[in-house]
Structure 1
Amino acid sequence: MSTKRLNRDDVPSDQMLCDLCTAKCCRYFALPIDKPKSMKDFDYIRWYLLHDRATVFAEGSAWYLLVHTTCKHLRDDHRCGIYQTRPQICRDYTTDECEFDDDWCYDLYFESPEQIQDYAEALYGVHFPDQNHGGINKLRRRRQQELPVI
């Protein structure tokens, strides 16, 4: 027996979408990132994807880091536990274009470092540097020794 998926147009006018939703909008956040323009840029994205629950997507020319994580204040009933003092970004968010009945896909979507590496290598026709000799390990450097205070 299959159940019909409820679309926003089917929601009775006396009910709110949030009453029927599992709070998709509270289970991730996405931040814009610079569109990669070099192998080094792709190496940074590869680093993002080495972290659990991180993905990267692109819509048109806009790129985003998406982190799949649940808000600490989401209650078991899928409602906000700090509704009266929620951040402004939450206050500005409306159900007009929310993910309630969303089933769209992204222009580009990367879930693993191997996917972004393959994409970058195909795009540029070159391979990533050996990770033990100048790749991801070059993202950080040692702090310079401080001068003595006299």
Structure 2
Amino acid sequence: MAFVSFLGRLLFVSVFILSAYQEFNEFGADGGPAAKSLKPKFNSFSKHVATQTGIQVPRVEIKHLIMGAIVMKSLGSLLFVFGSTFGAIILLLHQAISAPILYDFYNYDADKKEFTQLFVKFTQSLALLGALLFFIGMKNSMAKRAPKKKVPKAKTN
């Protein structure tokens, strides 16, 4: 059963590992194609947050965001494969931060083709987020259910 669990975690993180590997190989001096596609989405997200909440999103270099995502996916995946809750939390944070930025379906009308495509990808990202929450919850509940050692009763004669 332990091998099946390990294999399941390995298959789960393959999405993150392959993505991080591709972004790392294409990174270059400017952040690569990932930075080019993220920049307008991040600017749109920043404007959306500012208009809805009044909070200004800090100005950051896009290539730093891409490198941070690569590090989070790599480190989180490595730790998660070996059953670490901390690795799951890192991947959870990555999904929670990146999903609303990358899959900005809220910027399109519901009858547009882009809305449907982005919404489907967003819900897939939520499914990954849910799986990570499930893992963390199961890991915590199993730690609490540790069997208690029975104390032998003293014999009385």
In the superposition, the TM-score normalised over structure 2's length comes to 0.26
Larger RCO of the pair (alpha carbons < 8 Å, separation 6+): 1
